[in-house]
């Protein structure tokens, strides 16, 4: 179940990355993050009320709120802010290549702090999958994805590394907060509401609140992309990601989640009419082999 949920997460993040790339180019990366957290809390709280009978998981203890809240701050504010900026600077495809490093980072962190030890075969499956992902997104990008200058390219790479590190740490902290099989839906509500509250409080106390509202109002046509991306990504995708890390190893789950660029290939070919190289096709086949190893071998 954990592996399957992680695979579905990758599909959700493939869809949301397209929405958020579009909105980030209009609203800016940070404003996109602010608005999508608002949408996510609205959608998730409503879902939590319908399924659990309350808007917030008030029964969760202080320790659980701490770990899940910290996970939200690091993963959803810092990590995703860097990721969205990377989308803008170097494009979705190259940014997702850097995010392919999440499984390696999360596996190391989970080993150090959670004591998760993977078998040699699982490590081999992760390595094969990451290699395939790297081959896919290293192929020639289209004109819209090429960096305009070396400085912008370097900043985009650094932002991507920050995004990968933030996401990896966020996953490990979330698993720590979900100890004892705490429900994934309640966990994602805690992560989202903590991240939203902190980000908007920082906006308020930094004196940017009115300016941010004006920017959002002036570019309100982008809100439909944020709303669509929020449903697919922060609501369904993040919910599934917590289900996956609760049911399987963090390293395995994050590897399957990193298949997003492979899933984006059909979109690139038929949606954007890109010519795919033999390297992209080979990378896809290698990724599928790696996923098969992860799924089939105990």
Taking the model in full, what pTM does it have? 0.78
Give how many domains the chain has, as a whole number. Answer: 1
Q: Could you list the residue range(s) of the whole structural domain that residue 68 is in?
A: 2-296
Question: What's the confidence (pLDDT) of residue 16?
Answer: 87
SS3 151: helix
What is the C-alpha to C-alpha distance for residues 233 and 239, in angstroms, rounded to an integer? Answer: 9
Question: What's the confidence (pLDDT) of residue 272?
Answer: 57
Estimate to the nearest angstrom the gap between the alpha carbon of 267 and the chain centroid.
Answer: 19
Q: Per residue in 123-173, pLDDT tens?
A: 888 888 888 877 776 654 444 444 456 788 788 888 988 998 998 899 999
What is the C-alpha to C-alpha distance for residues 278 and 100, in angstroms, rounded to an integer? Answer: 20
Backbone angles phi, psi at 297, to 5 degrees: -80, 130
pLDDT value at 204 more than 90: yes
Half-sphere exposure of 50 (CA within 13 A, CB side): 6
Half-sphere exposure of 128 (CA within 13 A, CB side): 19
Question: Regarding predicted confidence, which is higher, 93 or 115?
Answer: 115
Give the contacts of 54 (CB within 8 A, at least 6 positions apart): 48
């Amino acid at each position: 179940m954990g592996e399957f949920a992680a695979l579905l997460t990758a599909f959700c993040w493939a869809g949301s990355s397209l929405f958020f790339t579009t909105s980030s180019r209009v609203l800016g990366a940070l404003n996109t993050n602010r608005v999508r957290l608002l949408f996510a809390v609205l959608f998730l709280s409503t879902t939590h009320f319908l399924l659990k009978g309350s808007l917030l998981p008030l029964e969760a203890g202080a320790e659980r709120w701490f770990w899940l809240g910290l996970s939200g701050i690091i993963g959803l504010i810092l990590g995703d802010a860097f990721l969205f900026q990377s989308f803008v600077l170097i494009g979705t495809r190259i940014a997702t290549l850097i995010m392919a490093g999440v499984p390696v980072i999360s596996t190391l962190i989970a080993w150090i702090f959670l004591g998760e030890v993977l078998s040699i075969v699982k490590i081999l499956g992760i390595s094969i999958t990451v290699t395939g992902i790297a081959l896919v997104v290293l192929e020639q990008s289209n004109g819209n994805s090429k960096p305009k200058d070396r400085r912008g390219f370097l900043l985009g790479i650094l932002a991507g590394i920050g995004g990968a590190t933030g996401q990896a740490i966020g996953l490990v902290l979330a698993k720590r907060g979900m100890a004892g099989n705490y429900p994934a839906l309640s966990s994602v509500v805690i992560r989202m509401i903590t991240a939203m509250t902190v980000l908007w409080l920082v906006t308020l106390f930094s004196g940017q609140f009115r300016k941010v509202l004006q920017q959002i109002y002036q570019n309100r046509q982008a809100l439909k992309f944020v709303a669509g991306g929020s449903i697919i990504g922060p609501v369904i995708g993040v919910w599934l990601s917590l289900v996956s890390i609760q049911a399987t190893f963090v390293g395995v789950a994050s590897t399957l989640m990193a298949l997003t660029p492979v899933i984006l290939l059909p979109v690139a070919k038929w949606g954007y009419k890109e010519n795919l190289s033999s390297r992209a096709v080979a990378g896809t086949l290698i990724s599928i082999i790696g996923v098969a190893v992860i799924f089939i071998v105990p």
